[in-house]
Amino acid sequence: DSTLLDDQPGSHNATIKMVGKDQLFKIDDGNVEKASFSVSLSDLNLQGAGSNNTVLEGGLIYNHEQLTIRNSRLINGYATRGGAIYNAGNLSNTTNTAGTVSLVNNLIQNNKAAQGGILYSEMPLYFITQSVLRDNEVTIADNALFYTQTKFSDESTGGYLTSRAIGISNSTIFHNKGGFIANVRDGMFVNNITMIKNDKGLFLDAPQGNASVSNSILVGNTINCQVSTTDKAIIQSNLVTAECNRNATSKLPNILYPANEKLIAGDSDEGTCDITSQTGLLCPYNTPKDSFLGFFRPRLLESYQSLSDSLIINKGRLYSDGSSIGLASCERYDQRGKNRSGYDELCDLGAIEYILDSQIAPVGQDIKYGQVAKFSILSSLSEADLVTPTTCKRLFGERPDGKEWQPGCLKVTQSTDTPTSKGVVTLDQNGNVVYTPNGNWHGADIFRIQVVTSVSRFNDGIEFQYVTIPATVVQEPVSGIEDKSVSTGGGGSVGSGLILGLFGLIALRRFKS
């Protein structure tokens, strides 16, 4: 399928597509006396028959064993129960009688069912992490994309909860239709998810109080939470509206989402982020070139006077303290597999951690006479954005030379190796640099690009507000024998090494609450 061929990791997955009217796999040895066997599927595009499918259970897969799927796409699965997967079996006296499903780092899209639009599980025996769930549908309004038919029959559900073996974590969930995302039963956890822009959110049905929802963004859905009459699920340390604000501890309250707060910057839920937008807690959903899965990146708005003004960043708890509050500790890694902050116990709500690295990659380019150098500094800024010229004026007043500020309050300083500038640097709001040489000189111009970012601006003192990025541009005649090419590590002249940034990133420290 040509629609699946792109430059993203995962584009070389083998595609298995149903051209008939059946499911792709039935994973069941038909024997509950023997121990269940493990099945692992990886790096696949699993495409169902769509609306042509005539199966009742499991549009892509019927499972009664121990199933794990990684780094794959689950697309166009249709069924009556379990649009993508039907997970069969109930726990009785032996675990041999029940299947389990683990989905890790998958794109799950365009699946549909009357019950369990993505997964129908006879018991709560599934684990979903580091995945994107979008554009799926469940047609029965009071059902769910992840639907569990039967609750655990024993009182051991607290053990399932503390081990975090069953539930959803580090995942982005948006643009799903019909019923709820999941019916959350005792023994289940939901942690560090970004669940926005869906018809419905979570249905909470945990009368023992052994279910936990924490460190997540649960807003912007038509219905964010709905509860059974006996529910006692613990919902704490999330960004929520009133209907999800339930049973939080005093130490880890939920953050109530203001009614007038814009959720996504710009006018679209997907696409390029308008960095200049003064509102919007998240950038639109976007899939970077080097990423298999997209995400909604948190923003630090220019209206914030300190990091604590953010409703998302530094609002989660990273470590357990050994008490029930520990149920609300963040996942160690985010959706992308990046470490959540290790500075202290604070981390970010949702699937994505706002990451800043103190190691700054040098930038630059090799060019011929008559050319201009074009490169980006964004990779040197990690998650941070450049502040706008308006913010520069607020921080520093007018420029001493009377000119208008460039994005990032750009300053260029020369190195001792080339103390006189050999060109002119301009910078746009998206971090794109254009270097125009002052004529045809042969050699190198070595300089430092200094900018203020959405994070570094919170530091005290001008010298700490600027992030310094080493840059080198080499120019040579067109007839030169040596043809240097641009390195993906930051330019052929500057090498692929990393230089430790001494200043500018101090504000990223996670201070104790």
Residue 5 has pLDDT above 70, yes or no: no
Residue 350 has pLDDT above 80, yes or no: yes
**Reported pTM:** 0.86
Arithmetic mean of pLDDT, 215-234: 96
Name which of 290-294, 303-307, 315-319, 376-380 the model is least confident about. Answer: 315-319
Arithmetic mean of pLDDT, 3-21: 75
- Give bridge partners of residue 102 from the DSSP assignment: 68, 127
Residue 187 has pLDDT above 70, yes or no: yes
Six-digit token string for 130: 């580091």
Helix (H) or strand (E) holding 411: strand 411-414
| Residue 473, CA distances (Å) to 87, 275, 288, 371 in order | 58, 27, 26, 11
The per-residue pLDDT for 162 is 64
The per-residue pLDDT for 34 is 80
| Residue 57, CA distances (Å) to 80, 185, 389, 413 in order | 6, 22, 57, 65
Residue-wise pLDDT for 455-476, tens only, equals 999 988 888 899 999 999 999 9
Instruction: State the Cα–Cα distance between residues 325 and 152, nearest whole angstrom.
Output: 24
Residue 484 has pLDDT above 60, yes or no: no
The per-residue pLDDT for 357 is 72
Q: Which amino acid is at 338?
A: K
The per-residue pLDDT for 349 is 96
Name which of 249-258, 333-342, 372-381 the model is least confident about. Answer: 333-342
Q: Which amino acid is at 12?
A: H
Mean pLDDT over the full length of the chain: 87
Question: Token pair 């530094």 is at which residue?
Answer: 314
The per-residue pLDDT for 485 is 41
DSSP 281-333: SBPPBB--TT-SS-B--B---TT-SSGGG-SSTT-EE-S--SSGGGGGBPPSB
Residue 161 has pLDDT above 90, yes or no: no
Residue 157 banded pLDDT, cuts 50, 70, 90: low
Angle at 153 between CA 151 and CA 158, to 5 degrees: 80
Of residues 358 and 176, the one with the higher pLDDT is 176
Name which of 73-77, 168-172, 369-373, 491-495 the model is least confident about. Answer: 491-495
Structural domains in the chain plus CATH codes: 363-476 (2.60.40.10)
Residue 503 has pLDDT above 50, yes or no: no
Residue-wise pLDDT for 251-298, tens only, equals 889 999 999 999 999 999 999 999 999 999 999 999 998 889 999 999
What proportion of the chain, given as a percentage, has pLDDT over 90? Answer: 69
Residue-wise pLDDT for 394-436, tens only, equals 999 999 999 999 999 999 999 999 999 999 999 999 999 999 9
The per-residue pLDDT for 158 is 56
Arithmetic mean of pLDDT, 320-346: 72
Q: Which of 30-39, 94-103, 263-272 has the highest mean pLDDT?
A: 263-272
CB of 462 within 8 A of CB of 333? no
The per-residue pLDDT for 379 is 86
Residue 7 banded pLDDT, cuts 50, 70, 90: low
Residue-wise pLDDT for 437-460, tens only, equals 999 999 999 999 999 999 999 988
Arithmetic mean of pLDDT, 146-161: 75
CB of 97 within 8 A of CB of 35? no
Of residues 252 and 93, the one with the higher pLDDT is 252
Question: Token pair 């080339």 is at which residue?
Answer: 418
Six-digit token string for 377: 């500094």
The per-residue pLDDT for 493 is 46
The per-residue pLDDT for 97 is 74
The per-residue pLDDT for 318 is 63
Arithmetic mean of pLDDT, 47-64: 92
| Residue 196, CA distances (Å) to 18, 62, 230, 286, 327 in order | 31, 29, 26, 14, 23
The per-residue pLDDT for 1 is 43
Residue 15 has pLDDT above 90, yes or no: yes
Residue 44 banded pLDDT, cuts 50, 70, 90: very high
The per-residue pLDDT for 114 is 97
